Amino acid sequence: MARVFTRDEIALRVSRVQAAAKRMGVATLILTRPQNIYYLSGFRASHFAGQLSELHALVVPTEGPPRLMTRALEKSIAELQWSEKPIFYMDHESPYTVLQSIFRENDIRADQLGIEERYLSVRQLSRIKQVLPDARYQDVSGLVEAIAVKSSPSEVACLRRAATVTKVGFEAGIAAVRAGVYPYEIVGRIHEAMYESGQSDFDMSMVCVWAGEKGGRMHDTRTTERIKAGDAATIEIFGVDHQYKIGAQGTVFVGREPSSDVQKSYSILVDMFKAARDAIRPGATSGDIYDAANGPYRTALGSDYFRKVGGTLGLTVFNIALTKGSKDILEPGMCLLVQTLVDDPALITCSSTVLVTENGYETLTDPIIDLRTV
């Protein structure tokens, strides 16, 4: 099995992160977010290792190569990543003692450490401070993501392949919605369609189905209530290629025309979606996209839209959020889920994933512009 990214690309990523750490006054990073470990090493088991071990980390000094530490169980898959001489520990060993030895045995500076507070438990941070007691600790949450959010050509290729499987899965899911089926049947059909069309990773995609007279209860995970005639059904999915995610989301109505109130709300959502999408271009801010969507909403309802309008996709989800007042600058290679949604008078949404290009945007997944009845 070949590595997904070349040694040169991984090395370029590492050098950019090292330079950013230096600018923050950090000598060494201890990275614990699985996606960031994968981004800087190509270690495909980071997602599992991060969930199933006490401590899984990539130590990145600003001078010298990164060092990966993971369980001995992961030795085989570690042959397909790029960091030099990974350190494996047995399950009866303390990973914190192993972390301490990485610094001591490789002459890595331990005085100014960058840690990802957002992705460390209180217990983990306490144990790290016990074995590296003389360090000054600085939160670097978001440092790697700020670099990773702009995709390279090889990452854009992953995004395009992920978009293909997402579109196939979304279409299969919409086709499976009808009165009498269970949400789990739709979920299963979507997963089957995405894997059949080339999805590369299990345990990385997401498939959600909500249904009910008012669209169901968003973020409820129950799948065993049959869909009925008269329901509105919303499908939200992330298809994946080599851990890079692309999203699609939409609402359909089962066996009935939606009410006039729903039609009016959906028309507002579509106007919001189009305004946000058409505002996407290099140099625009994430807040500009919110403002564009907020215009039709405020005109129709007299108040500001209550949620974000979406955010970045790819290796991570919503690292940049399209929210009021946010100042992140859009650049070519960034991937954005534009997601306008309300839950009153029903849960309904109009969404699509787009790629920021040199001149504007490219649509990767298709929105449902016209209300659809199945």
Mean pLDDT of 295-307: 97
- What does the pLDDT look like over 14-53, one tens digit per residue? 999 999 999 999 999 999 999 999 999 999 999 888 888 9
The reported pLDDT for the residue numbered 49 is 83
The reported pLDDT for the residue numbered 50 is 82
The reported pLDDT for the residue numbered 181 is 98
Q: Which domains does the chain have, with CATH numbers?
A: 7-148 (3.40.350.10), 153-373 (3.90.230.10)
Q: Which of 180, 305, 183 is nearest to 235 (CA)?
A: 183
Q: Report d(CA 329, CA 317) in Å as an integer.
A: 17
Which residues are CB-neighbours of 200 under 8 A, at least 6 positions away? Answer: 161, 240, 241, 242
Q: Report d(CA 217, CA 183) in Å as an integer.
A: 13
Q: Report d(CA 81, CA 92) in Å as an integer.
A: 25
Q: Report d(CA 262, CA 214) in Å as an integer.
A: 10
Give the CA dihedral 144, 147, 148, 150, nearest 10 degrees. Answer: 160
Percent of the chain with pLDDT over 70: 100
DSSP lists the bridge partners of residue 252 as 233, 372
CB-based contact 238:206 (threshold 8 Å)? yes
Q: Is 245 helix (H, G, I), strand (E, B) or coil?
A: strand
The reported pLDDT for the residue numbered 41 is 97
DSSP lists the bridge partners of residue 373 as 253
Whether pLDDT at 3 is above 90: no
Helix (H) and strand (E) counts in the chain:
10, 14
Half-sphere exposure in the Cβ direction for 213 (13 Å, CA): 0
Mean pLDDT of the chain: 96
Burial class (CB in 10 A: 0-12, 13-18, 19+), 24: middle
Whether pLDDT at 79 is above 80: yes
- What does the pLDDT look like over 94-120, one tens digit per residue? 999 999 999 999 999 999 999 999 999
Q: Report d(CA 207, CA 247) in Å as an integer.
A: 10
Whether pLDDT at 340 is above 70: yes
Considering the entire predicted model, what is its pTM?
A: 0.94
Take residue 312 and report the two structure tokens written for it.
């970045």
The reported pLDDT for the residue numbered 143 is 97
Q: 1 pLDDT band (50/70/90 cuts)?
A: low
CB-based contact 231:263 (threshold 8 Å)? no
Take residue 46 and report the two structure tokens written for it.
């980071």
Q: 330 pLDDT band (50/70/90 cuts)?
A: very high
Mean pLDDT of 228-239: 97
Residue 97 has φ and ψ, to the nearest 5°, of -65, -40
CB-based contact 47:203 (threshold 8 Å)? yes
